Amino acid sequence: MVRKYGVSPNPVHQIWTARGLQPHRLEQYQFSRDKRFEEKLRDVVGLSLNPPEHALVPSVDEKTQIRGLDRTQLTLPVRVGTPARQVHDYRPNGTTDLFAALDVPTGKIAGECDTRHRVQEFLSFLRTLDRTTPPAWDLRLILDNLATDKTAKVKRWVLRHPRFHFHFVPTGSSWLNQVERWFKELTDKRVRRGTFPSELEMIGALKLYVERYNEVPRPFVWRATADRILEKVRSNRLNVDLSRTAP
């Protein structure tokens, strides 16, 4: 714009700042193509805002391929005016998959590490939830649309365990699954900052993180209603349509 209009950079910067324009930034977006988007959205948001009585609402997903990295040099600790520092070089020490369930009302986490994330491992995690939760309570699981969760074997298991109910978020809407926010915290606070000499030590560190997190669990407070989300989605779709038709 400076070159095109023959002005100095300062007024361009002032105009952009005054109007909240940030052309240097680029973010991604995705609209769900799920034909049942509104129905699933209202179902999942309703569980988050108004959990039913005598029921647990676990937000369930798996974080795959967590890499155990052993740094080639010591991590330097925090000092006055200097953050902790890591070297870029590392030795890979295996991977693990973490199945996790975030209880939406309380924020407590149930987690299990495994080497793979097939139907067998998912069923094993469901059995753990069945064994470790009050038997008289229903379990309203919020799930992504993974093929693993919809196989015939899983469906048969659910039929034999009627207190389990699956509530799927719309396709392409994993942001509705609150455990994803916890996965981000896990990555930022433990995985990315860690040094793991072996895969077993990494798994032990993940289990310890879950244990300590559950000592003072913090639920994520969901405030947006389904109507508010739908209004925002419609507004964003309109902006995209206008952008397509703009000269």
Long-range contacts of 217-223 (CB under 8 A, 24+ apart): 217/103, 217/106, 217/107, 217/108, 217/109, 218/107, 219/103, 219/104, 219/105, 219/106, 219/107, 220/102, 220/104, 220/107, 220/178, 220/181, 220/182, 222/45, 222/48, 222/49, 222/104, 222/178
pLDDT per residue as tens digits for the range 24-70: 888 776 778 889 999 999 999 999 999 898 899 999 999 999 988 88
Tell me whether strands 138-143 and 58-71 are parallel, antiparallel or unpaired: parallel
At residue 188, the pLDDT reads 92
Count of domains in the chain? 1
At residue 156, the pLDDT reads 94
pLDDT per residue as tens digits for the range 75-134: 878 888 888 887 888 888 889 999 999 999 999 999 999 888 889 999 999 999 999 999
Quick one: tokens of 217?
């669990």
Which H or E run includes 201?
Answer: helix 199-215
Confirm if 54 and 138 have CB atoms less than 8 A apart. Answer: yes
Least confident of 67-71, 138-142, 180-184, 241-245: 241-245
**CA distance linking residue 46 with residue 73, whole number of Å:** 49
Q: What angle is formed at CA 184 by the lines to CA 178 and CA 186, rounded to 5 degrees?
A: 110
| CATH code for the domain in which residue 85 is found | 3.30.420.10
Whether residue 245 has pLDDT greater than 80: no
Query: Any bridge partners for residue 111, and if so which?
Result: 100
Question: Taking all residues of the chain, what is their mean pLDDT, rounded to a whole number?
Answer: 89
pLDDT per residue as tens digits for the range 189-241: 999 888 888 999 999 999 999 999 999 999 998 999 999 999 998 888 777 76
At residue 84, the pLDDT reads 81
| Confidence band, pLDDT 50/70/90 cuts, at residue 146 | confident
| Confidence band, pLDDT 50/70/90 cuts, at residue 247 | low
The type of residue at 149 is D
**CA distance linking residue 44 with residue 151, whole number of Å:** 21
Would the pTM of this model clear 0.85, i.e. be above it?
no
At residue 79, the pLDDT reads 86
Residue 165 structural domain: 2-245
